[in-house]
Amino acid sequence: MATTRGRSLRRDREHQPSECLLRFAAPHLLRNPNLAGNRSRDEKIQQFFDTAAFRAPGDGVIGAAGRTNGAGPGFFGLDLSIHKIFQLSDRFGRTFRTDIVNFPNVPAFAAPDQARGDGNFGKIGNVLGLSTGREVQVSLGWLGKSSVEHSLTVFSGDY
């Protein structure tokens, strides 16, 4: 330890391997981890990829598997909006609008757990943070002589 003007500086020459490197070392990849795509949704959630395709490397050995081996679950999103104008006269009209977010009501699954040795390895445990169920909003509005739409939301909620 060196002291300079009341400040101390300590340097240790001892080097220890990073615990993080040893715990999360890349595994050996024995075969293609991708499973058949024609399985049911429940089967994919329980085991998204072949967990037996990975083997832990020996102590101090970094395996040959890449950081990412295969793609995660896909995402499909479809939003729907229906808008109808009812013209009452030359200058006035009514509007009806329905907005549906996540129309097919399909969840957006998060990536499967990738922590080897964990009981959830290869399982999908949750959905993406912004994934929602189907949301429906119904609005009524009126058009004035300036053709500016004024609307009132009648119903908004999950369906």
Q: Is 66 helix (H, G, I), strand (E, B) or coil?
A: coil
Tell me, rounded to whole angstroms, the distance of Cα 121 from its chain centroid: 17
- pTM for this prediction: 0.56
Q: What is the pLDDT of residues 43-72, one digit of tens each?
A: 888 888 888 888 877 777 777 777 666 677
pLDDT at residue 21, as a whole number: 36
Q: 82 pairs with which residues across the strands?
A: 98
pLDDT at residue 75, as a whole number: 79
Q: How far apart are CA 49 and CA 34, in angstroms?
A: 5
Confidence of residue 84 (pLDDT cuts 50, 70, 90): very high
Q: How far apart are CA 76 and CA 135, in angstroms?
A: 16
Q: How far apart are CA 86 and CA 95, in angstroms?
A: 6
**105 vs 22, higher pLDDT:** 105
Q: What is the pLDDT of residues 3-25, one digit of tens each?
A: 455 554 444 444 333 333 334 56
- Candidates 95, 42, 31, 96; CA nearest to 64 is 31
Residue type present at position 16:
Q
pLDDT at residue 14, as a whole number: 41
Sorted by where each begins, the domain ranges of the chain are: 16-71, 72-159
Q: Is 44 helix (H, G, I), strand (E, B) or coil?
A: helix
